[in-house]
Amino acid sequence: MTAIRQLTILGSTGSIGENTLDVVARHPDRFHVTALTAHQNVDKIFTQCQRFHPRYAVMLDAVSAERLSKKIKTAGMSTEVLSGIDSLEKVASLPEVDTVMAAIVGAAGIRPTIAAARSGKTVLLANKETLVMAGHIFMDIVKHHHATLLPIDSEHNAIYQSLPQHFNDDLTSVGVRRILLTASGGPFRRLALSEFQHVTPEQACAHPNWVMGRKISVDSATMMNKGLEVIEAHWLFDAAPDDIQVVIHPQSVIHSMVEYIDGSVLAQLGNPDMRTPIAHALSYPERIESGVKSLDIFEIAQLNFEAPDFARFPCLRLAYGALSAGGNMPAVLNAANEIAVESFLAGKMPFTAIPAMIEQVMQRISRNEVNTLEDVIAADTLARETARDWLMACQV
């Protein structure tokens, strides 16, 4: 009989958070939810508290926490409501918790994710931004504090599943030649280039294969998501940028592949449903039911592959550039992208301004080394300010 795992779910009201709770609910004998966290969605987290009875619920801001607290008291529940970034760090490092799902979106996830690693937890990493912004700092913390890192991003989870079980940071020693990182190509793989300037937020968020949060959906449409994932793969598997080949695979059935020196290519396949990588990481090294339906290979019938088009997707080129520049540049890329996506979603600028803004910000900020989390946060702050200044200057 396996011991019950005590979970903290950071970002429980998001797309990954909800999928995690869906898998958890199928296995009450295996998992107990100790803490849930959300930004502002009081009603959703309240419903989750009613169902999963966590000891703690954390809201980012005090006003939302106050509202949640009232609802919890009125309902006669015992969940303790906390607020603020310190409380996110606290619930990520509780002694009674062994597993932390890091599913906050964006740079906001970095502090609690790092807190979980620092406490030696099993970290189920969905928040790719932590690795993009602070890859070597985070990986050092994971090693130093003997945390266990399991990737949730479907591609990285597929790579993880296609590597030998004893894989320990050295691809060459296990005979890997390269990683084939698959990408759907998003909703605009075939759109006429002249149409890109008219793309609306609704069109950009309508992913052909995956249902996801709005930010990552826009990232998929620009293919910045794949760029961030190249950086993520670099840090997770210690892979050189030249050994990570992006492959457009429109069906999103192969979630990524690993090529070995003997010519073997191992892949992980499945329906595009995040409950598969979530269940894999939650139960690793065992396997559990996830609720994902069987892959109907006859209905799929065909698997196609194309090389990525850097002219159509300049964000991919910018991400490779940031990775090879190193230092503060991946954090600058990530922050500029967050402001660009936010501005596009708010109707303040066209879709085509996303890569333009990021490129300008990367040019305006000089490259320097980042050695501490504070350095990373400083790079993030500067890039956000530079991006906002650029937007203001464009609008006058």
213 known ligand binder: yes
Min dist. Cβ of residue 108 to ligand NAD (A): 3
* CA distances (Å), origin 225, targets 78, 110, 161, 205: 39, 17, 21, 13
16 known ligand binder: yes
Name which position in 89, 98, 153, 232 contacts Mg ion (CB under 5 A): 153
Task: For residue 61, give both structure tokens.
Answer: 């801001």
Rounded distance, CA 13 to CA 228, Å? 23
Cβ neighbours around 23 below 10 Å, total: 24
Task: For residue 1, give both structure tokens.
Answer: 């009989």
Q: 129 contacts which partner out of ligand NAD, Mg ion, none, CB within 5 to 8 A by kind?
A: ligand NAD
Taking contact as CB under 5 A, which single stretch among the options 152-160, 181-189, 262-270, 377-385 is the one that binds Mg ion? 152-160
Rounded distance, CA 340 to CA 351, Å? 9
127 known ligand binder: yes
Q: 119 contacts which partner out of ligand NAD, Mg ion, none, CB within 5 to 8 A by kind?
A: none
Rounded distance, CA 16 to CA 103, Å? 6
Choose between 252 and 360: whose C-beta lies nearer to ligand NAD: 252
Min dist. Cβ of residue 175 to ligand NAD (A): 28
Which residues of this chain interact with ligand NAD, rule CB under 6 A? Answer: 11-17, 38-39, 41, 60, 103-105, 108, 126-129, 153, 210, 212-213, 215-216, 274
Contact 57, 82 (CB under 8 A): yes
337 known ligand binder: no
Contact 101, 126 (CB under 8 A): yes
Choose between 271 and 364: whose C-beta lies nearer to ligand NAD: 271
Min dist. Cβ of residue 219 to Mg ion (A): 9
Rounded distance, CA 326 to CA 346, Å? 30
Check binding of 89 to Mg ion (CB under 5 A): no
Number of H helices, E strands in the chain: 16, 11
Rounded distance, CA 160 to CA 145, Å? 21
Binding residues: 13-16, 41, 127-129, 153-155, 184, 207, 213, 220, 225-226, 229
Can you say which residues are annotated as belonging to the binding site for 1-deoxy-D-xylulose 5-phosphate?
128, 154-155, 184, 207, 220, 225-226, 229
Q: Which residues are known binding-site members for Mn(2+)?
A: 153, 155, 229
Residues that bind Mg ion (CB under 5 A): 153-155
